[in-house]
Amino acid sequence: MPLQQLAQAATEGAASSGEAAASPIPFPPFAPEVLFRLGPLGVTNTILYTYLVMVVLVFLAAWATRRLQEVPAARSWQTLAEVVLYTLLNLAEGAVGHHRARQIFPLLATLFIFILTANWFSLLPLIGPFYLQEGNERIPLFRAVAADWSTTLALALVTFVVTEFWAFRYRAKEHLMHFVKPLGIGQIELVSEFVRLLSLSLRLFGNLFAGEVLITVMTSLTYLVIPAVFLVLETLFGFIQATVFTILCLAYFTLNTTSHHVEHDEAENPLHATAA
């Protein structure tokens, strides 16, 4: 009898757990959904949201520069844009100097502004209310940009290509020999160059996808106050992730364009370094 009761209780527990698992708890899919196709190319809800962010950024850029003034008003879009850009420029100049900062600054500013805007846009109520109906399935019309690995991988690829380009412009021979000598260590350095692609893309994707899952679950299972707390945290977290990605891009550029021989000479002869 005890064994039969245990078996019956286990069966009832499995049935109840199956019903609980079947309950409609919204959970964002890992991959973006395809909305429509243009020939062999599928246009996903992430791509659509990306173009929405791009249109907004173009509009804000035009709005901030429509009446350029040498001394803008304290509260204006031009002032906000100048504060952001000058902060990034000063960060780059402090790391690589005035000349090289001008070369990497366009990429740094683009990455920071795009990632930050995309992260904050994902917190707006644009994902839930808009759907594309296909039969019995409802596909969200918009999907958070950075919650798609293909987007973060594309950003990492652009960073990798640009930093490697400037590495070959500044010190091509030394940069290539860095992957050859010393034997064993150089090959590890070569592998680490490509590991940067995974580290950059997966760090941004993993953190923001986890935030999307958290916000989606909390807004569907709890009341207004608790999701609002998580929205505030995700706002701060989106800024941190954009800053981290930008600083890592600057760090890779600094490593790739700084000659180790120059650093050694400057350490031995500080007067020569000051004159240079």
Using one digit for the tens of pLDDT, what is the confidence trace for 138-197? 666 667 776 678 888 889 999 999 998 998 888 888 877 777 777 777 788 788 888 888
* DSSP for 216-276, written as a single string: HHHHHHS-SHHHHHHHHHHHHHHHHHHHHHHHHHHHHHHHHHS-HHHHHHHHH-HHHHHH-
Is the pLDDT reported for residue 2 higher than 70? no
Tell me the C-alpha distance between 131 and 125, whole Å.
Answer: 12
What is the average pLDDT score of the chain?
Answer: 75
Higher pLDDT residue, 219 or 203? 203
Structure tokens at 78: 């031009």
Using alpha carbons, select from 99, 97, 209 the residue that is nearest to residue 144.
Answer: 209
Is pLDDT of 271 > 50?
Answer: no
Q: Encode pLDDT of 242-263 as tens digits.
A: 999 999 999 999 988 887 654 4
98's tokens: 């005035």
Owner of token pair 């412009």: 169
Q: 136 to each of 26, 132, 133, 214, how far by Cα in Å?
A: 16, 11, 7, 26
Domain boundaries, the chain: 35-275
Q: Which has the minimum average pLDDT: 9-23, 96-110, 186-200, 207-221?
A: 9-23
Which has the higher per-residue pLDDT, 26 or 179? 179
- Alpha carbon dihedral 207, 209, 215, 218, in 10-degree steps, equals -100
Distance CA(88)–CA(101), nearest Å, equals 10
pTM for the predicted model, two decimal places:
0.75
CB atoms within 10 A of CB 145: 27
Question: What is residue 8's predicted lDDT score, i.e. its pLDDT?
Answer: 47
- State the average pLDDT over residues 112-133: 75
Q: Which residues, 6+ apart, have CB-to-CB distance to 93 below 8 Å?
A: 101
124 pLDDT band, cuts 50/70/90, is confident
In tens, the pLDDT along 60-113 reads 888 888 888 777 777 788 888 889 999 999 999 998 888 899 999 999 999 999
Q: Which of 26-35, 157-166, 204-213, 228-237 has the highest average model confidence (pLDDT)?
A: 157-166
